């Protein structure tokens, strides 16, 4: 697309600065973000399979490994989600109000989940 080269500012630029180096690619930051999402997904799946094998091989450390697995995988998922929201949904260009609108229900949902998780499986007994 020839016109893309005419726009060299903001999110229309095909040139992106990454780790101190300038990279020129069709789609600019959007393509770089897609590459990051794909790479993170591969890392996520490989990590899950590796840790699944480790849990199988060392049942005595299963609880610890399962906790590590959950933290690592959820951490990657949160990074991927943040990339989509920040760049593809253009949150970085929006007013702070939009960030509040999206963060508030996330906060409420997280607190609710933590509260629900604190309830024992079979309920409290007197």
Partner 1 sequence: MAELTADSLHAVATHDDHGHISEDEHNSNMKLGLWLYLASEIVIFSIMIVGYIIFRINEEDIVAQAHDELGVALVTANTFVLLASSFFMVMGLRAMQQGNRSGMLRWIGLTALGGIVFLGGQYIEYSELAHLGIVLGFDDASAWSTFGMRFYAPTFFHGAHVFVGVLWALEVMRRGAKGRYDNNPIGIEMFGLYWHFVDVVWIMLFTLIYLV
Query: Is 81 one of the binding residues for partner 1 (CB under 8 A)?
Result: yes
Query: What character string, x for contact with partner 1 (CB under 8 A) and - otherwise, covers 27-66?
Result: x--xx-xx--xx--x--xx--xx--x--------------
Taking the C-alpha atoms of residue 67 and residue 43, their distance in angstroms, rounded to an integer, is: 18
Contact footprint for partner 1 (CB under 8 A) = 1, 3-4, 6-7, 11-12, 27, 30-31, 33-34, 37-38, 41, 44-45, 48-49, 52, 69-70, 73-74, 76-77, 80-81, 84-85, 87-89, 94, 97-98, 101-102, 104-106, 108-109, 112-113, 116-117, 121
């Amino acid at each position: 697309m020839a016109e893309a080269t005419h726009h060299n500012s903001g999110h229309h630029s095909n040139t992106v600065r990454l780790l101190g180096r300038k990279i020129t690619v069709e789609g600019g930051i959007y393509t770089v973000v897609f590459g990051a999402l794909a790479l993170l997904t591969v890392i996520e799946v490989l990590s899950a399979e590796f840790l699944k094998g480790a849990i199988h091989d060392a049942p005595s450390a299963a609880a610890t490994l399962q906790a590590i697995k959950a933290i690592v995988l959820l951490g990657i998922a949160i990074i991927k989600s943040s990339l989509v929201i920040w760049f593809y949904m253009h949150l970085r260009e929006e007013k702070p109000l939009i960030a509040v609108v999206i963060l508030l229900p996330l906060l409420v949902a997280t607190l609710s989940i933590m509260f629900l998780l604190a309830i024992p499986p079979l309920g409290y007994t007197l």
